[in-house]
A and B are shown apart, each in its own frame.
Chain A
Amino acid sequence: MLRKAKILTWLVGLTLLCATCLTLAFAGMMQTYATGEVSVETVTVTGYDVNKTTYGTRYSGLYEIKVDLGVPLGGNSYGIMDGDEAQRAVQDYILINGVSVREINSTVDDSDYLYLTFPGSESDIYAVPVLLHVPDGATYIKLMLHCDYISTLYGKMEITVKNGLSYNTGTDIVKYIGEDVTYKFLAGSWYKSDEVPTEFTEIKSTDGLIFEDIIGDGNYRFAVPIDQLIGATVGGFHVTEPGKTWNYMQNYLIINGQSVSSINTAVDDSTYDYSKGNWVLSWASSDPASGYCQPVFVQVDGKNLYFNLPKEYYESSFGKAIILEILPGFGWEDASGNIYMNSERIVVTRILDTNGNSAVATATQPDGIDVTEGYFGIQEADNGTEVYFDLYFSHNIMLEAHYTGGLNFDYVGDIWSKYVFIDGQPISSPAFAGKVRVELASGTTFDNMKMIRIYVDKSLSLTGTSILLKEKTPFSSGELLSSDFEMNFNAAAGEDTAGNAVIGWTNGTTELSVGEVYGVCVKSGNSVEPMKAKYAITYVTGGGVNDADNPEYYVEGEIVTFAPASGKEGYDFVNWTCKGEVIAATTAETVGALELTAVWEMAEGAKFASLSLNGDIGINIYVYIKNISEVDELTANDGKIKGVKTVRDGTEYFVFTVGVAAKDYETPVSISVDGYDITSTYSVSDYIAAFTEEDEGYELVSALAKYCEAAKVLFDDELASEAKDDESLALSVEDEAALGGFAAVVSGTDDTVSLVGATLVLESETSIYIYFMAEGDISTATFKVDDAEVIPEAVAGYDGYYVIKIENISAKDLDKEFTVNIGGIIVQYSALSYVNKTLSGTYEAAIGNVCKALYAYNKQANIFFTK
């Protein structure tokens, strides 16, 4: 115990010690060498490999690590331990697991240890320093470590050579220059820490445990297969076996939360020595009354790591899980001295049934199966020599449950013989020998049911018999029967249709009448009414969500009312159908499995919207309303917007077209259908953004987008002031020439009126406003637009000013020329006349962009509508 405490102290100490090292300066530096010139190798020296006559015991159990600098370190052979401070300082530059050798050695009194008196493994490792030694003529520094000390480092061995390492050869100073370099010892080789092959950094066992049966008189073994154990040798882990590196690995192996080391500490294992061959034999002399009186023996053999458990310890785990853990850092050694390690915690779980049988290979927590929740039918039949009972289960799991060794009836029978009791005796009992057997079958008498068949010889009377399934009956799914389940049979409870005796059965507490509720036993081929079967119900929700209350099964004769499905966005549930017929509930006559399909109808509301491509700017919002086929038109927004019925893809919609001023194309517009609780909001820009080059009208929409954006800028003083010419709108020479053809033409004279100018109003469509001044009464004058008389509006606040408005000009008509009579003056003018006039003079960028965009918009509209 004391020894172990010291081990732990050391392990903790090594972990916590900082890798800070003193850096000593040496004078007379002459050479420098690159990092790559350092290499590390190991040599294990045992008492068997050296001439003890010559060297005594000092080498026995030593582990040597060579740190080769690739340069001669002098011609002397001596140990650093016994050198002066200049020599000893090398200890600061050699780190084991981040701790300098000087730091390690500071915990021991090394004053007594000269190279030639290094005690080796015969001494307590914690009283032995790490020895550094440079052999005569060598290019390497040799680390000599006690083998048992090495064993504490398995799986986490690192040697670091610090930048600045120098060694006084006695004649020169050789300095190793470069960054720190760390080597890891993995699988028998040293690797630079940044060059470690991935296969050595992680070993996981996912295959679970292999159970090996009892050997001799109570040797229970679990094997953890680990591929990397190729070539590993047999070895023991006895705590008290001295000089074996294996022993310390017990700290990394955990059984049910307790380390093997801890388990074995509580045992006097001094008499158990694997090498003496007394380990297996000793089981027979174990005394169960004294607890875990045998040590846990761990060995590596081939590819398996074996946990050999004392019989008493093993059997104490019956009916529950055995959890084995292999902690990071666990290492093992093969015959060649290669050391393997695992870097991650490996957990393997094995569940034993109450008789110690393997319930599962890798198991989940055994929540248990409540077989009473299943649906059972029992059928008794006579095959001539024996009567059998068929037990039908609705749990699919039950069929699979019995196989731990494959589909083998004998195996099943053997396992189940320990769990199936008839009249209080297991069917494996001598009383039933040759008269009762258990089989599995894929029973199809009832839908979705599986079958356990219990054969009972006719010579046995089962009148008043009970069949008991014991708690923890194992199933290969990993579940165990949560509690005893008993079925009682009562003979002569009735007669079947052929007059044979019928026995009912109960769930162990309530006796049932013939034919009531669940089932009866009848002669094979006969029937008893009602035989209530249990049928599956499946639901096809078509994108919706089924109601949680809708059952997965129904029992024949039961009335099950189906709750509606829900959750399908944009649709309302109508009903369930089964084979094309509406079904709201089962009836007493319903039989067979049911597949219910949800029927949905479109819910009322705004379903989608489109961009108006009629030459205006606006959105068409499609609204679906049920059962108003007689109505052709609706209104929205208190009658301001009309919705006209349209058929699209076979469905009637009301289309509400909402015009938007060009500058407002990014502003969401809303409609609220009058008389209905239906509202919807869309913006033009959303739909512009949704157009792709493949969409018809893409060029028109693109031109529209530029026009709208230019209008938005124009009518925002701040944006307009910062606007710059949009080069993408630049007009070609041909465009400019074409625009010139739209110059306004004015003819005629009239002394009573004078032209002021024209503007465009950029709404959903475009208007031309022509301003003029007139003196006095204009009621006698004639005003026309394309020969239709119009009445000019007086401009409020501007005495003598009037405006003639030409409104609702669509995109393709922006180039349409209107003839406007203003008294005796005739003006031929189009929207492009305004564009031409503006661009002909000096203009600000904002209005220039609008004019160019409007021109492009008109061009694309002409192309689109000509198509």
Chain B
Amino acid sequence: MKKYKEPVLTFNRTECDIILASINPGDSIYENETPLVPIE
């Protein structure tokens, strides 16, 4: 079955900062959800 995207936090060693999880085109967050496309 489809694996929906789970939010992932990553650590950027260079910047010594936490990069927040992001939602990008092609992602599906919820069940039965189609891939995200830009609105325009």
Q: Which chain A residues have a beta carbon within 8 Å of chain B's beta carbons?
A: 661-663, 711, 714-717, 720, 743-744, 746, 755-763, 769-771, 795-801, 803, 827, 829, 833-834, 837-838, 841, 847, 850
Closest to B29 in A: A795
Residues of chain B within 8 A of A801, CB atoms compared:
22-23
Complex: A330 Cα to B3 Cα, angstroms: 82
Q: In the complex, how many angstroms separate the beta carbon of B30 from the nearest chain A beta carbon?
A: 6
Closest to A825 in B: B39
Closest to B6 in A: A797
The 10 closest A-B pairs by CB, nearest first: A797-B7, A757-B36, A715-B2, A760-B34, A837-B37, A761-B33, A744-B39, A759-B33, A762-B32, A799-B20
Complex: A797 Cα to B39 Cα, angstroms: 22
Contact between chains at A759 and B35 (CB < 8 Å): yes
Residues of chain A within 8 A of B31, CB atoms compared:
761
Most A CB within 10 A of own CB, among B23, B33, B34: B34
Closest to B9 in A: A797
Contact between chains at A717 and B2 (CB < 8 Å): yes
Contact between chains at B30 and A770 (CB < 8 Å): no
From A717, A769, A838, A841, B1 is in contact (CB under 8 Å) with A717
Q: List 14 A-B contacts (CB under 8 A).
A: A714-B34, A716-B2, A743-B40, A756-B36, A757-B23, A757-B37, A762-B32, A771-B36, A797-B6, A797-B21, A798-B23, A799-B20, A801-B23, A838-B35
Q: In the complex, how many angstroms separate the beta carbon of A659 from the nearest chain B beta carbon?
A: 12
B contact residues, total (Cβ < 8 Å) = 23
Q: In the complex, how many angstroms separate the beta carbon of A710 from the nearest chain B beta carbon?
A: 11
Contact between chains at B2 and A759 (CB < 8 Å): no
Q: In the complex, how many angstroms separate the beta carbon of A829 from the nearest chain B beta carbon?
A: 7
Contacts A715-B2, A716-B1, A757-B39: A798 and B21 contacting too (C-beta < 8 A)?
yes
Residues of chain B within 8 A of A711, CB atoms compared:
32
Complex: A769 Cα to B38 Cα, angstroms: 12
Contact between chains at B38 and A759 (CB < 8 Å): no
Known: A714-B34, A717-B1, A837-B38. 5 other contacts (CB 8 A): A744-B39, A770-B39, A797-B7, A838-B35, A838-B37
From A661, A763, A771, B23 is in contact (CB under 8 Å) with A771
Contact between chains at A757 and B38 (CB < 8 Å): yes
Residues of chain A within 8 A of B40, CB atoms compared:
743-744, 746, 755, 837
Closest to A661 in B: B32
Residues of chain B within 8 A of A743, CB atoms compared:
40
Complex: A769 Cα to B28 Cα, angstroms: 11
Contact between chains at A759 and B37 (CB < 8 Å): yes
From A663, A798, A841, A847, B22 is in contact (CB under 8 Å) with A798
From B6, B23, B35, B38, A847 is in contact (CB under 8 Å) with B35
Complex: A837 Cα to B32 Cα, angstroms: 19
Residues of chain A within 8 A of B21, CB atoms compared:
797-799
Residues of chain A within 8 A of B23, CB atoms compared:
756-757, 771, 795, 798, 801
Residues of chain A within 8 A of B25, CB atoms compared:
757
From B6, B7, B30, B39, A755 is in contact (CB under 8 Å) with B39
Residues of chain B within 8 A of A847, CB atoms compared:
34-35
Complex: A714 Cα to B28 Cα, angstroms: 12
Contact between chains at A759 and B34 (CB < 8 Å): yes
From B6, B29, B32, A662 is in contact (CB under 8 Å) with B32
Q: In the complex, how many angstroms separate the beta carbon of B20 from the nearest chain A beta carbon?
A: 5
Q: In the complex, how many angstroms separate the beta carbon of A648 from the nearest chain B beta carbon?
A: 32
Closest to B20 in A: A799
Q: In the complex, how many angstroms separate the beta carbon of B2 from the nearest chain A beta carbon?
A: 4
Complex: A288 Cα to B17 Cα, angstroms: 129
Q: In the complex, how many angstroms separate the beta carbon of B40 from the nearest chain A beta carbon?
A: 5
Complex: A759 Cα to B2 Cα, angstroms: 15
Contact between chains at A760 and B39 (CB < 8 Å): no
Complex: A863 Cα to B21 Cα, angstroms: 44
Complex: A827 Cα to B35 Cα, angstroms: 19
Q: In the complex, how many angstroms separate the beta carbon of A834 from the nearest chain B beta carbon?
A: 6
Residues of chain A within 8 A of B1, CB atoms compared:
715-717
Contact between chains at B36 and A758 (CB < 8 Å): yes
Residues of chain B within 8 A of A833, CB atoms compared:
39
Residues of chain B within 8 A of A797, CB atoms compared:
6-7, 21
Complex: A654 Cα to B37 Cα, angstroms: 42
Complex: A662 Cα to B31 Cα, angstroms: 12
Q: In the complex, how many angstroms separate the beta carbon of A707 from the nearest chain B beta carbon?
A: 12
Closest to A851 in B: B34
Q: In the complex, how many angstroms separate the beta carbon of B4 from the nearest chain A beta carbon?
A: 10
Contact between chains at A769 and B33 (CB < 8 Å): yes
Closest to A744 in B: B39
Residues of chain A within 8 A of B36, CB atoms compared:
756-759, 771
Complex: A757 Cα to B22 Cα, angstroms: 12
Contact between chains at B7 and A759 (CB < 8 Å): no
Complex: A716 Cα to B37 Cα, angstroms: 19
Residues of chain B within 8 A of A796, CB atoms compared:
7
Residues of chain A within 8 A of B3, CB atoms compared:
717
Complex: A796 Cα to B37 Cα, angstroms: 19
Complex: A800 Cα to B21 Cα, angstroms: 10
Most A CB within 10 A of own CB, among B1, B21, B30, B39: B39
Q: In the complex, how many angstroms separate the beta carbon of A729 from the nearest chain B beta carbon?
A: 16
Complex: A757 Cα to B26 Cα, angstroms: 10
Complex: A847 Cα to B36 Cα, angstroms: 11
From B28, B32, B35, B39, A663 is in contact (CB under 8 Å) with B32
Closest to A829 in B: B39
Complex: A625 Cα to B34 Cα, angstroms: 41
Complex: A841 Cα to B40 Cα, angstroms: 11
From A756, A759, A798, B28 is in contact (CB under 8 Å) with A759
Complex: A683 Cα to B25 Cα, angstroms: 34
Complex: A711 Cα to B38 Cα, angstroms: 21
From A795, A834, A841, B34 is in contact (CB under 8 Å) with A834
Complex: A661 Cα to B28 Cα, angstroms: 16
Contact between chains at A758 and B30 (CB < 8 Å): no
From B22, B32, B39, A758 is in contact (CB under 8 Å) with B39
Closest to A755 in B: B39
Most A CB within 10 A of own CB, among B6, B35, B37: B37
Residues of chain A within 8 A of B30, CB atoms compared:
759, 761, 769
Q: In the complex, how many angstroms separate the beta carbon of A531 from the nearest chain B beta carbon?
A: 82
Complex: A716 Cα to B28 Cα, angstroms: 13
Residues of chain B within 8 A of A827, CB atoms compared:
39
Residues of chain B within 8 A of A771, CB atoms compared:
23, 36
Complex: A850 Cα to B34 Cα, angstroms: 9
Contact between chains at B39 and A798 (CB < 8 Å): no
Residues of chain A within 8 A of B22, CB atoms compared:
798, 801
Closest to A663 in B: B32
From B2, B28, B32, B37, A834 is in contact (CB under 8 Å) with B37
Closest to A715 in B: B2
Q: In the complex, how many angstroms separate the beta carbon of B32 from the nearest chain A beta carbon?
A: 5
Closest to B36 in A: A757
Q: In the complex, how many angstroms separate the beta carbon of A841 from the nearest chain B beta carbon?
A: 8
| Interface bits B4-27 vs A (CB < 8 Å: 1, else 0) | 001100000000000011110100
Most B CB within 10 A of own CB, among A662, A757, A770, A833: A757
Residues of chain A within 8 A of B6, CB atoms compared:
797
Complex: A663 Cα to B29 Cα, angstroms: 17
Complex: A838 Cα to B40 Cα, angstroms: 10
Closest to A795 in B: B29
Residues of chain A within 8 A of B29, CB atoms compared:
759, 769, 795, 798, 803
Complex: A798 Cα to B23 Cα, angstroms: 8
Residues of chain B within 8 A of A717, CB atoms compared:
1-3
Contact between chains at A746 and B35 (CB < 8 Å): no
Q: In the complex, how many angstroms separate the beta carbon of A789 from the nearest chain B beta carbon?
A: 20
Closest to A799 in B: B20
Q: In the complex, how many angstroms separate the beta carbon of A643 from the nearest chain B beta carbon?
A: 25
Residues of chain A within 8 A of B33, CB atoms compared:
759-762, 769
